[in-house]
Amino acid sequence: MEPKHCFLGFLIGAFLTSGGEAQPAHESLKPQRVQFQSRNFHNVLHWQPGRASSNNDSIYFVQYKMYGQKEWKNKEECWGIQELFCDLTNETSDLQEPYYGRVMMASAGSYSGWTITRRFTPWWATNIGPPVVNVTQHNRSLLIILHAPDLPYRHQKGTNVTVENYYDLVYRVFLINNSLQKMQEQNIYEGAGRVVAIGALTPHSGYCVVAEIYQPMLGRSSPRSDEQCVKIP
């Protein structure tokens, strides 16, 4: 953080602790559309400049807390930044808990009030991306290897729960037989395992494999992966 921002941060902190709140005059400076966007449990706060703010020289301050806590915490990495987003993945890592974030702008000596997000529960709000599928062929059988998208838990050390179990995700694998007149799709696997083997496929026919991630508790599916196609000799 630059010294200028530090000083501004201090002023704002002093202003806040003195009990000040958003003044009507500054309403038009307040950041707009402050919201969490969550993909694969990476929870990023996004916002837009206020209606009356000139983009140059505007800096933003981000705070967060869990619902029910009295104190807001400063997000140090997003304290006096020019970007319009802030990664709060680590601060919102308890998936089932409700969180709030808020953003304030400062520009040329004036500051806006805080704009607060809606209540945000990562487990509910996140969008899971498709898995990556690798298919290897041995004669008439296929070995399908599934990879979950990049989820934050993967980077935690010293834990022995699989990423799939931690987030309560299962893979769904579909096999499409291209040789049939009517394209036929078959759900050949649903589970948390990453390796699926299928054998005894019909010779001289073409197959495609596609997968998705399913959240059983929510009854939700991710978009589908790219199709991986093979020809059985």
Residues that bind another protein (CB under 8 A): 65, 67-70, 96, 98, 100, 116, 118-119, 121, 124, 216-220
Where residue 8 falls (left for φ over 0; alpha for ψ -120 to 50; beta otherwise) is alpha
Token pair listed for 194: 């990453």
Residue nearer to another protein on the CB measure, 61 or 207: 61
Residue 218 beta carbon to another protein: minimum distance, rounded to whole angstroms: 6
Residue 216 beta carbon to another protein: minimum distance, rounded to whole angstroms: 7
105: Cβ–Cβ under 8 A, 6 or more apart, which residues?
Answer: 29, 30, 31, 49, 50, 53, 58, 59, 60, 61, 111, 112
Residue nearer to another protein on the CB measure, 68 or 109: 68
The Cα–Cα gap between 150 and 72 comes to 29
- Name beta bridge partners: 110: 107
Residue nearer to another protein on the CB measure, 66 or 145: 66
Where residue 201 falls (left for φ over 0; alpha for ψ -120 to 50; beta otherwise) is beta
Residue 38 beta carbon to another protein: minimum distance, rounded to whole angstroms: 14
Residue nearer to another protein on the CB measure, 99 or 207: 99
Residue nearer to another protein on the CB measure, 68 or 158: 68
First to last CA, the chain: 62
C-alpha R_g of the chain: 24
Residue 117 beta carbon to another protein: minimum distance, rounded to whole angstroms: 10
